[in-house]
Amino acid sequence: MEKRELVILGAGPAGMTAAIYGKRSGLDVLVLEKGIPGGQIAITDEIENWPGVVHATGAELAESFRRHAEKFAPEFRDATVTRIELRDGMKVLVTEKEEIEAEAIILATGATFKKLGCPGEAEFAGRGVSYCAVCDGAFFQDVEIAVVGGGNTAVEEAVYLTQFASKVYIIHRRDSFRADKMAVERALGNSKIVPVWNSVVESIQGSDMVEKLVIRNVKSGEISELPVEGVFVFTGMVPNTECVKGLVKTTEQGWILTDEKMETSVEGLFAAGDVRDKYLRQVVTAAGDGAIAAMASYAYISEQVHLRGLLLDPEHVVALFFSSVDEKQMRLVDDAEKWLAASGKRAVLVDGYRNAKMVEKLGLAGLPLLVELRKGNVASSRTFSSTADLQSVLS
């Protein structure tokens, strides 16, 4: 099986930033990508909130991320990861072609647009139903279309679509948009945009192509028809977490839960960007997540490799596990270090507070402990109270 230090799933802003930081830290980095490099920004028309760049298309920014990452020479590979498995403590990525063992993994798989789930949506996908304004907007020259949604993406993409369509209806289930004030003002100030408030799409109808929407007013219950030749759906996102379903802790909606280091509930498995549970999903926050995840991965890999070499690989090891936040234990450790230096004996001193995962992995409890390990397994353990305990084990 192929073995790598850091494997990153996804080549969007989070994944590319993680690749840059990972390589700069000296890690062996493999980036597994699927589809268009750049993630969601690759199909975004305009980006005006990336610091230092006043204006760029999403494709331009995505390309700049890729060029920057390539400078540090991580390996890029086109692959679909079907699942991630834990096998005897190892993290294994199962792809459609191969299996890869990784010391650490960063999930930067992003999110995809929600579907409406109404009759006609699936049937007319690619025949008037779209989820990408940049991809399909030009096909709707001088015709009337609809956008469904009320957030930033829906409102901004509606404005973009006015350069093609003769009229753009924005259908929203509330009586005001959830988008940023500037985006809303720009949309409502455009003569081609017509809001349809308090309404939802009941069905999408037509013959070969979309011809009309059946909509329902959520307050009055009134049903009406809206003649349009296309409908763009921007009603929110769902996380791309199929490969880790049942493996990591998530919210009820499926967003991955992490700590401040971007680590998931699985040791050595990190998440970054839109796939994780967070307050704001933007390019700049995804990049920040990627940087943190990469540096946390580096620290994790360094710690694990170091501790494995000290504790788990040798035939026989005596280790003193202690907590660096306990003053009494630190005095015992000072005495132990002095005795070891004077006697010429050898024992591994492990800060169980900083290396809590190793303590958990070995099933230890109640520090300080004097532990004998044979081939990585605990042979014996006892409470450590004085250097006499060391003498009795090492004599």
What amino acid positions are annotated as catalytic residues?
Answer: 132, 135-136
CB 249 within 8 A of CB 271: no
Query: 10 Å Cβ neighbour count for 228?
Result: 24
Quick one: tokens of 56?
């760029």
Q: Looking at the chain, how many residues does it have?
A: 395
Owner of token pair 């006892």: 382
3-state secondary structure of 286: helix
Return the residue matching tokens 């004996």: 345
Distance CA 373, CA 5 (A): 26
Q: What's the token pair of residue 259?
A: 């700590």
β-pairing verdict for 348-351 and 269-271 = unpaired
Distance, in Å, from the CA atom of 243 to the CA atom of 283, rounded to the nearest integer, reads 23
Rounded Cα–Cα distance for residues 309 and 305 (Å): 6
Listing DSSP states for 235-252 in one string gives: S-EEE--GGGTTTS-B-T
Reported as half-sphere exposure (CB side, CA atoms, 13 A), residue 250 has a value of 18
- With b for 16 or more beta-carbon neighbours within 10 A and e for fewer, the 372-390 pattern comes to ebeeeeeeebeebeebebb
Report d(CA 235, CA 117) in Å as an integer: 11
Structure tokens at 48: 């005006």
Contact status, residue 68 vs residue 61, Cβ threshold 8 Å: no
- Alpha helices of 33-129 — where are they, by DSSP H? 58-71
Is there a contact between 322 and 356 (Cβ–Cβ < 8 Å)?
Answer: no
Phi and psi at residue 362, to the nearest 5°: -85, -5
